[in-house]
A and B are shown apart, each in its own frame.
Chain A
Amino acid sequence: MDIVVPIKFVPDLVEELEIDEGTGQLDRTFLRLVPNELDDHALEEALLLKEKHGGTITVVAIDSGDVDETLFTAVAKGADKVIKITGEGYEEGLSSHACVELLAKALGDLSYDVILTGTQAVDDVDGSVGGLLAAKLDLPYVGYVTKAVSEGGKLVVTKEYPGGLLAEVETDLPAVVGIQAAEQAPRYVVTSLVMDAMNNATIDETEGGEATATGAAEITAMRAPEKGEAAEMIAGDAGAVAEKLVQIMKEKGILS
């Protein structure tokens, strides 16, 4: 089974997210970009599929400035090929539509059975890469998947619904699957193996050119959520907070 895993780079929520007052958009000066967590899960699911059924894994990332380490880490984990799409201005931030345009172009000549990618990314405002890419490539798409197995030349995926309900969906290949969670947490790979990959593996580069895709709704401004009726904060150490909470709970009739 030949698998492609596109990885999207998104703002790291550990850092403070600030709005550039001039543009009303996200201030990218001190932004740290990290691989989308669900794309890490997609890679993990791909590795599990490869371990079970053999085949190859190709990881693709758009060069937003600092993607090499992630790509070499993918190699260290077991990816066979890693591709970086290069071009001007990608570090300014690309819409999902723009990402999909670049990915579709890069995947043009490749043959693959399935594209696994995170079912969404934290900074999606114009839809998610998986669903958009599937439509662009005219491939079937199933999202919110937590397990994928190969059966008789088809892919059988487990799709999550609310309340813990699951559905088994079978799809012809090639197909695009949006991963909600891999069957196991993304594995750890020791730094020395990543270093080995950095020294021995190569990242294939492909020129993406200008991302002209339209289709994203127009963002006029970004802002922090209104504090509005924010929480009444309780000061003090754990003991003091516990005291106050017991008091509150008594008032609300929670403690009998």
Chain B
Amino acid sequence: MIQLESADRFLAQMSDSVADGERIRRCLQCGSCSGVCPFGFAMEYPPQAMIASLRAGELSPLLDSDSVWLCISCYACTNVCPSKIPLTVGLLSGVKTEKLMKGSVPEELQAALTSARRYGNTLGESPRKRADWMKDLNVEVPLLAKEKKPVDVLWYVGDYPSYHPRVQQVTRAMAKVFHALGVSFGILGPEEQSDGDVFHLAGERGLFELLAGKNAKTFQKYEFKEIVTTDPHAYNTLKHEYPKLGYSFPVRHYTQYLHDHLDKLKSLMTHPIEAQVTYHDPCALGRANDNHIYDEPREILQAIPGVELVEMGHNRTTSICCGGGGGGMWLDGFAWEKAGARTSEWRVLEAVHAGAKVLAVACPYETPRFDDAVKSTNHSGDLVVKDIAELLSEAITG
């Protein structure tokens, strides 16, 4: 892969290597992308301006600017583009790749990338500790390497759910729900590597491919009917990107899986949660790759006794990203400095405005990001953030 020197080569590369990439040449310059982009107002080159520059034959201004790092890969632009240009995966990631090739990357993101390459997770933790979250858990979580028998579900856990203290709570709740349902499952534990979705979106395609290869090799060692994941980014990449590398595995997000078992869940949930709950649609489950998984999570929430579901102003396809995707998790300081705003804070305010007491989420970046946003917007006590898995676990065991 050569470092692209020119705008022409960028456009040609995008046309060749990204599905429907050649549509970039049919940009109408309507500006819908820049308008819907949560950080479009703060970018020197929002998507529309990037394309204008490229069509004028100029790539270097885009590389001299660092405002592309404000992009959180939320797919809002891709979703709204009338020419159906794959903006997020083709244009934005492409420019990010060019920046990375020049060695220009904000330090925190660099640390996450370096850590993922060395340890298979973005948190700089030892891979040997990847399953430590299950210590002191009162239910058993089978490790496939030890069990050596076929399971129905290979539960792909993910980086943050394995290591981050707040998200470990969600993981433990999920384990309890699986148990209550009597699911035959197992996890990879220390063998699991980062799924790679966010690296692909952040422009580090090579790192994504390296990790995907490792994961695929590990999956192939075991017998299972499907992969179920608590991480929408893992869902997104396992479903759409891994097959492009030749690694095809049936995969569902846990809300899709649990939706199949809704009747049984209902019978188990004997502890009502009396609250107005609003659901935040994760980008990777919604707009990304037209996944559009909107109903299953809602039906699960509505099945919890006592829950009254309310909708925020932006929902489903218009949901506002939590800000964690595509590397955003490690660019928060950068974004704060440049834009003075956090999408997670907007979202929390929307939730409060909708009259919700509980903000229900289904993605591991969301729990810590929204927790922080609740504090920074001074709504501690007004709003509480819970993953759907946590709500289910509470409704089952009390």
Contacts and interface: CB of A to CB of B under 8 A. Distances in A.
Direct A–B touching, Cβ under 8 Å: yes
Interface of A: 14-16, 30, 32, 34, 185, 187-196
Given A185-B110, A190-B100, A191-B210, 6 more contacts: A188-B103, A190-B97, A190-B101, A191-B206, A191-B209, A194-B206
A188 B105 contact: yes
Contact of A191 (B110, B128, B207): B207
Nearest to A237: B165
B113 A188 contact: yes
A191 B204 contact: yes
Interface-central residue, A30, A32, A34, A191, by most chain B CB under 10 Å = A191
A15 B100 CA distance: 29
A192 B200 CA distance: 12
A27 B1 CA distance: 41
A185 B105 CA distance: 11
Interface stretch (B59-67, B82-90, B114-122): B114-122
| Interface size bracket, B side | 20 to 34
Contacts of B207: 190-191
A12 to B, nearest CB: 8
B142 interface: no
A188 B206 contact: no
B124 interface: yes
B204 A190 contact: yes
A189 to B, nearest CB: 7
A192 B107 contact: no
B205 A192 contact: yes
User: Would you list the 5 A-B pairs with minimal beta carbon distance, nearest first?
Assistant: A191-B206, A192-B206, A191-B207, A187-B103, A188-B110
Contacts of B205: 191-192
Nearest to B114: A188
Most chain A CB within a 10 A radius of its CB, from B1, B118, B206, B210? B206
Contacts of A195: 206, 210
Q: Is chain B's binding surface mostly helix, strand, loop or mixed?
A: helix
Contacts of A194: 206
Contacts of A196: 1
B206 A14 contact: no
Contacts, number: 45
B125 interface: yes
A34 B118 contact: yes
Contacts of A185: 107, 110
A253 to B, nearest CB: 30
B126 A16 contact: yes
Contacts of A32: 126
Nearest to A194: B206
B101 A193 contact: yes
Contacts of A189: 103
A14 B125 contact: yes
Interface string B199-222: 000011111011000000000000
A32 B129 CA distance: 14
A185 to B, nearest CB: 7
Contacts of B204: 190-191
A186 to B, nearest CB: 9
Interface string B295-319: 0000000000000000000000000
A210 to B, nearest CB: 31
Nearest to B380: A239
15 contacts: A14-B119, A15-B126, A16-B126, A32-B126, A34-B118, A185-B110, A187-B103, A189-B103, A190-B97, A190-B204, A190-B207, A191-B117, A191-B209, A193-B1, A196-B1
Interface string B95-108: 00100110101010
Nearest to B2: A196
A14 B110 contact: no
A38 to B, nearest CB: 16
A11 B97 CA distance: 32
Contacts of B110: 185, 188
Nearest to B110: A188
Contacts of A14: 119, 124-126
Name the residue among A32, A34, A188, A193 with the largest chain B CB count within 10 angstroms. Answer: A188
B237 to A, nearest CB: 16
A238 to B, nearest CB: 10
B126 A190 contact: no
A30 B113 CA distance: 23
A188 B100 contact: yes
A69 to B, nearest CB: 9
A190 B202 CA distance: 11
B368 to A, nearest CB: 13
A16 B103 CA distance: 32
B201 to A, nearest CB: 14
B384 to A, nearest CB: 14
B303 to A, nearest CB: 31
Contacts of B124: 14
Interface in B111-167: 113-114, 117-119, 124-126, 128
